[in-house]
A and B are shown apart, each in its own frame.
Chain A
Amino acid sequence: MVIPRLALKNLLGAGLRTWLNVVVLSFAFVAIIGLQGIYDGMNNQAVHALTDAEYGGGQYWQENYDPYEPLSLPDAHAPLPEALIGLKNEGLAAPVLIVQGTIYPSGRIQPVLIKGIDPAQSLLSIPTHFLAREDVDLPALIGTRMAKNAGLKKGDTITVRWRDAQGTFDARDAHIVEIMRTTAQSVDRGQIWVPLKKIQKLARMPNEASLVVLAQDTEPLKEGLAGWDFKNLEFLLKDITELVEAKTIGGSIMYVILLLLAMLAIFNTQVLSIFRRRKEMGTLMALGFTRPKVIQLFTLEGAMHGVLAAVVAAIYGTPLLVLFAKKGWAMPDNVDSYGFAIGDTLLPTYGAGLIIGTTVLVLVVTTIVSFLPTRKIAKLKPTDALRGRMS
């Protein structure tokens, strides 16, 4: 216990120099956790928004369906297999039929995806119950982005045209029954939602679907699904995960800079300490310290900056980050164009893994940085140290 005790004494005895390092390092702590929490929160929000509004617990895709290949859509429909009908009847699956079409808002032509969904479904957080209206021929639900883009508002009527299963063009007037607000752009932009039965009938695709959304936490079926491929969440969320990772790497640069600054301060302090405290090292050796013990002492002293910084960071960082996590960060309107399903407020997430991981990272890096200059001590002769010289 001699070394930790002496290290702590020396550290606290160094006064302002220690506290400057500790404060800088604590900034790095709070900034790393704060920034990483923002990315984690962004990721969580995006994943939740997409799973709630679009992906559920995974999707079965008709084998021709490819969301990145619009030309595949005319062939991407098939009757539901019995197994999926069973799941649908149990309320564990929601079929979606996707038909390519066009609308004509304000005399313009605009391509859209017409998505048919059961108005009674409750798997996705889309307010499809508005589509249950009987008083209009073709009720349509659109998102705020689509409404803005097409200049549509609730109560408007819009002409919708599509090609049916036989390739014949058909059209109807759709009545906008609701404008929904959703953070998931992928259920909003360039698409209108209509009742599944209606579009199945109008497109001459009875009982058919392009994809089937599975309820969250439902085990996917393994048999009886010929012509349908299951896409799990890992696959479906791949784009958003990669996007978050890319943004995380970009954001990491800032905290790497912060961490480097803090490490530079500690490295500098260590180098100074070793040069200024040679006599002290000599004294310690004269009193019976071996060189490895002196190295341990100086390394521990440096490393304790990290421990103190963690404590200081906890003191002011905890209330700050808790407040931030509760209040969130109001997002400007143009954030929508970033491609993230974030919403109006970004709520950072500070998990135990992030906090423990960051603490361990900072402590390890601080220890390494503290150790590096002390290697000089390994060659230090006690007699030179006592004279205040470096061997």
Chain B
Amino acid sequence: MENSFMIKTTELVKIYSMGWKKLAALDHVSLNFAKAEFTGVVGPSGSGKTTLLNIIGSLDTPTEGSANVLGKKVEDLSNRQAAALRNQGIGFIFQTFNLLPVYTVFENVEFPLLLLGLSADERKEKVIQALEWVNLGERAKSKPAQLSGGECQRVAIARAVVKKPAIILADEPTANLDAENSHNILKTMEELNRVLKTTFIFATHDEKVISYIRRKITLVDGKVAKDEAVNPTRAEGIG
């Protein structure tokens, strides 16, 4: 069964040094994530949600323990290998969208494909498809500054899914959005999870997000306080 997990963390510890003081952001966290999960990591501020996502996303390394992501041990990866893993296997969605301001919507979504070295025709086809998924086909030529917050986050989703990564990590994706936009975004992600079988992991404390996820991992002080299935009525991604 172990091989079927996309992500497996074992006794993950992350300690930050704050001067002379050591702060354990993650304290022996062991979790498994399967393909097409729609999971939320919840907890109060400082509970280690973002740290966990950063390690899974190979943006950071654990102080102790191991994080196996798509068959690669994050702690053993060189900078180049970590960048390749992020480029090929992981999509990120950020709270503040993090779109490249000088690029158009089309170019922002196209960017990960450029790094993958796809041809212009392939890129165009995939970008158009991704923009259709998030209903932004008509805003392809707009710059991020011309978009609303909801539209920006939809562009960020399109950018994350365009390369069809195995995993999408979303850190507080609805924190800057109003209720209507949050629901639209979440519906879009839920649909993509269903269609593309992408594993979504959210770091959130937004109740709206929690109402969409199917698995809820609660972190408190860097430890897994609860790991439970929730919202059984929501559509199952696998299938």
**Is there an interface contact between B80 and A382, defined as CB atoms closer than 8 Å?**
no
Complex Cα spacing A293 to B82, Å? 14
**Is there an interface contact between B92 and A289, defined as CB atoms closer than 8 Å?**
no
Name the one of A9, A10, A283, A287 contacting B115, with C-beta atoms under 8 angstroms. Answer: A287
Name the one of B59, B84, B96, B101 contacting A382, with C-beta atoms under 8 angstroms. Answer: B59
* A-B pairs with lowest CB-CB distance, top 3: A288-B87, A13-B102, A283-B98
Most buried by B among A12, A14, A291, A383: A383
Q: Answer whether residue B100 sits at the interface, using C-beta atoms and an 8 A cutoff.
A: yes
Q: Answer whether residue A243 sits at the interface, using C-beta atoms and an 8 A cutoff.
A: no
**Is there an interface contact between A282 and B103, defined as CB atoms closer than 8 Å?**
no
Complex Cα spacing A153 to B112, Å? 85
Sample of 19 more A-B contacts, CB < 8 Å, known A9-B103, A287-B111:
A2-B115, A5-B114, A9-B102, A9-B107, A10-B102, A279-B96, A280-B101, A283-B100, A285-B59, A285-B83, A285-B86, A286-B57, A287-B112, A288-B86, A288-B88, A290-B79, A290-B80, A290-B83, A383-B59
Closest chain B residue, CB of each to CB of A8: B102
**Is there an interface contact between B115 and A288, defined as CB atoms closer than 8 Å?**
yes
Chain B residues closer than 8 Å to A293, beta-carbon distance: 83
**Is there an interface contact between A283 and B60, defined as CB atoms closer than 8 Å?**
no
Q: Answer whether residue B94 sits at the interface, using C-beta atoms and an 8 A cutoff.
A: yes
Seen from chain A, the residues whose Cβ lies within 8 Å of a Cβ on chain B are 2, 5-6, 9-10, 12-14, 279-280, 282-283, 285-291, 293, 381-383, 386
Looking at chain A's contact residues, is the secondary structure mostly helix, strand, loop, or mixed?
Answer: helix
Chain A residues closer than 8 Å to B59, beta-carbon distance: 285-286, 382-383, 386
Chain B residues closer than 8 Å to A10, beta-carbon distance: 102
Looking at chain B's contact residues, is the secondary structure mostly helix, strand, loop, or mixed?
Answer: helix
Chain A residues closer than 8 Å to B111, beta-carbon distance: 2, 287
Interface of chain B residues 91 through 132 with chain A (CB within 8 A): 92, 94, 96, 98, 100-103, 107, 111-112, 114-115
Chain B interface size band reads 20 to 34
Interface 1/0 per residue, B202-226 and A, CB below 8 Å: 0000000000000000000000000
16 pairs, CB–CB < 8 Å, chain A vs chain B: A5-B114, A6-B100, A9-B103, A9-B107, A280-B100, A283-B94, A283-B100, A286-B94, A287-B159, A288-B87, A288-B112, A290-B83, A293-B83, A381-B60, A383-B59, A386-B59
Complex Cα spacing A288 to B82, Å? 8
How close is B178's CB to chain A, nearest CB, in angstroms? 23
Complex Cα spacing A2 to B118, Å? 12
Q: Answer whether residue B54 sits at the interface, using C-beta atoms and an 8 A cutoff.
A: yes
Chain A residues closer than 8 Å to B102, beta-carbon distance: 9-10, 12-14
How close is B96's CB to chain A, nearest CB, in angstroms? 7
Known A-B contacts A2-B114, A2-B115, A9-B102; A383 and B54 likewise in contact (beta carbons under 8 Å): yes
Closest chain A residue, CB of each to CB of B78: A290
Known A-B contacts A287-B111, A289-B115; A279 and B98 likewise in contact (beta carbons under 8 Å): yes
Closest chain A residue, CB of each to CB of B54: A383
Chain B residues closer than 8 Å to A282, beta-carbon distance: 98
